[in-house]
């Protein structure tokens, strides 16, 4: 996809990403639901969107660049920022549900709670430098800080596991990313082995030519 197409699609993508949040906020404001009931959907969306944003990297490594994947790559930052916003809403609804700082501090050290705070902190670090100026200002450090998202998604899955006391739902959401990471490692190793084999074959061919 060209830059012009991406530019035209971006507002639509933002609208689609915002629709669940707008619906939740409307339900909360109208009294149709409570903050507690919005904790799970916001947390789930935050993790899902992080996974979607991170999938494009290994897909390009496996299949190479094409118009679809390049378009996905161009929108990755938008998807990542949306994931952070849903993570922020998750935190806001949690604070609203707890209603006081005392109960929040009392349960902070529970595994299912501190992992959520840590995951959000890592998301915050990545989101804080998502603007174009940060990319230019930080140079190579920008990519290194963005790796915090890897920790955010894995620790976020742990947060989900400890709260539900079952690994199934978190693993289902992580599965596409885990599979792609594994495939990328296999593909890279295979390509490296082929490259090494070709290099050795060329070396042997040159050796034979020199002996002839």
Averaged pLDDT, 22-49? 95
Cβ 192 vs Cβ 61: under 8 Å: no
Residues 92-123 have pLDDT tens digits of: 999 999 999 999 999 999 999 999 999 999 99
Residue in this structure with the two tokens 């840590």, named with its chain if needed: 118
Q: How many domains does the chain have?
A: 1
Tell me: the pLDDT tens digits for 160-200? Answer: 999 988 888 999 999 999 999 999 999 999 988 888 777 66
pTM recorded for the entire structure: 0.86
Closest CA to 175 of 62, 47, 26: 47
Rounded Cα gap, residues 191 and 185, in angstroms:
10
Q: What is the structure's pLDDT at 128?
A: 85
Of 106, 133, 108, nearest to 118 (Cα)? 108
Q: What is the extent of the structural domain holding 192?
A: 3-211
């Amino acid at each position: 996809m060209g830059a012009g197409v991406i530019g035209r699609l971006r507002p639509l993508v933002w609208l689609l990403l915002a629709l669940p949040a707008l619906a939740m906020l409307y339900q909360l404001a109208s009294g149709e639901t409570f903050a507690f009931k919005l904790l799970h959907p916001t947390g789930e969306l935050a993790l899902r969107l992080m996974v979607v944003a991170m999938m494009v990297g290994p897909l390009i490594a496996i299949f190479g660049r094409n118009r679809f994947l390049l378009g996905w790559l161009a929108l990755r930052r938008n998807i990542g920022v949306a994931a952070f916003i849903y993570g922020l809403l998750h935190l806001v609804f949690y604070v609203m549900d707890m209603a006081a700082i005392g109960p929040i501090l009392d349960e902070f050290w529970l595994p299912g709670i501190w992992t959520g705070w840590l995951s959000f902190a890592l998301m915050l670090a990545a989101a804080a430098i998502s603007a174009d100026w940060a990319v230019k200002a930080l140079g190579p450090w920008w990519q290194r800080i963005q790796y915090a998202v890897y920790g955010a998604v894995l620790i976020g899955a742990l947060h989900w596991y400890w709260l539900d006391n079952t690994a199934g739902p978190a693993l289902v959401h992580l599965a596409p990313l885990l599979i792609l990471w594994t495939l990328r490692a296999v593909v890279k190793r295979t390509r490296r082995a082929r490259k090494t084999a070709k290099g050795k074959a060329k070396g042997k061919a040159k050796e034979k030519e020199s002996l002839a």
